[in-house]
Structure 1
Amino acid sequence: MKKDIEMPEVSGVYVAVISEIGVEGEKIWNAYIVNDKSEPIENVFVSSKGYLVNIKGEESKSSVLRHFYKVVPAKSSQKIEVVIDDVLKLNNEYFVSFYHQDRLFDKKFVFLAETIKKENISVVPIIQKQGVWIK
């Protein structure tokens, strides 16, 4: 049964964590979903969480947050959430599901612990700002 389910590969959609300046001039990180396709994606559902198990076996985790966007237009981005400094030391997982051309797609994007930092930033396509991104 499971082998009969076709899971199409996700391309042209990715998650980026962008370094930005907050309202009070402080440095903040914001997570975005980026649609690099030439068509919109619809019914976009994003579930995010942070987690880590240290070498002593102690588990740290954040709350699970869920976000829904009716449409993310072609060649655009949608802000998901602010990524607070406390969760940068955790693995940050974004599970993204969406419809494109009447087909359901989903993909898990994981930023490993301590990878969201200035040493790993580059210009993120579409957004044209500095950040860390996963295709």
Structure 2
Amino acid sequence: MKKDINIPEIKDVFMAVVKEYNDEFQCEDWNIYLVNDKEEDLEMAIIVSKGYDEDKMIETSVMRKTINKLPAKSFAKVELIQPDLFKLTNFFNTTFFIGNTMYDKKYVFEKNTIKEGALRVIKQLNKEGIIAK
């Protein structure tokens, strides 16, 4: 029965963490973004995130975010991530629709991979950040 379920591969949609200046609080923040580099809009995007370290048996609270519509070739800020969480593996389960087809993918930032030295320009955001695996 499982073999009959078609789960389409996701291309041109990704999660990124970006370090950017916060004018209001005059400090550097790390923010998570959902990027839609497709030619189609994403509808009813649901992102569920959590951080964990299995070795130390540490878990964060589960966070949920809904984006009703993410237009083609655009992005949306999902959440602020505190630097204390970089020592954990952080995952973002993302589910969305394009037309009548549902897509689902788990994006992962492995522990200790979010750091200054890993920042690269993300052209879709025109900012420096790190793309999740």
Bin for the TM-score computed over the shorter chain: over 0.9
5 Å-filtered alignment, 1:56-135, equals: 58-134=56-132
SS of residue in 1 equivalent to 2:87: coil
Q: Which amino acid counterpart does residue 40 of structure 2 have in structure 1?
A: E
Counterpart CA distance in 2 for 1:128 and 1:5 is: 37
For structure 2, the residue ranges without an aligned partner over 5 or more in a row are: none
Partner Cα distance (2:41, 2:71) in 1: 4
In 1, Cα distance between the equivalents of 2:98 and 2:11? 11
Separation (CA, whole Å) in 1 of partners of 2:52 and 2:115: 17
Q: Give 3-state SS (helix, strand or coil) of 1:113's partner.
A: coil
1:40-94 per-residue CA deviation (whole Å, 9 max, x = no partner) reads 110000000000123xxx3111110011111001111000000011111100100
Q: Which amino acid aligns with 1:16?
A: A
When structure 1 is superposed on structure 2, of 120-129 and 63-72 the one drifting more is: 120-129
SS at match of 1:88: helix
Q: What's the TM-score, normalizing by structure 2?
A: 0.95
2-structure distance, mates of 1:16, 1:133: 4
Q: Partner of 1:74: helix, strand, or coil?
A: coil
Give 3-state SS (helix, strand or coil) of 1:68's partner: strand
Q: Which amino acid is the alignment partner of residue 21 of structure 1? A: Y
Paired with 1:134 and 1:48, the residues of 2 have a C-alpha distance of 13
Give 2:49's aligned residue.
48
Number of the residue aligned with 1:19: 19
Partners of 1:3 and 1:38 lie apart in 2 by: 29
Residue segments in structure 1 that go unaligned for 5+ positions in a row: none
State how far apart, in whole Å, the 2-side matches of 1:49 and 1:134 are. 14
Q: Output the TM-score relative to the length of structure 1.
A: 0.94
Q: What CA deviation, in whole Å up to 9, does each residue of 1:11-56 have, x standing for no partner? A: 11000000011222211100000000011110000000000123xx
How many residues are matched? 132
Q: SS of the residue aligned with 2:125?
A: coil
**Cα RMSD for the two superposed structures:** 1.0
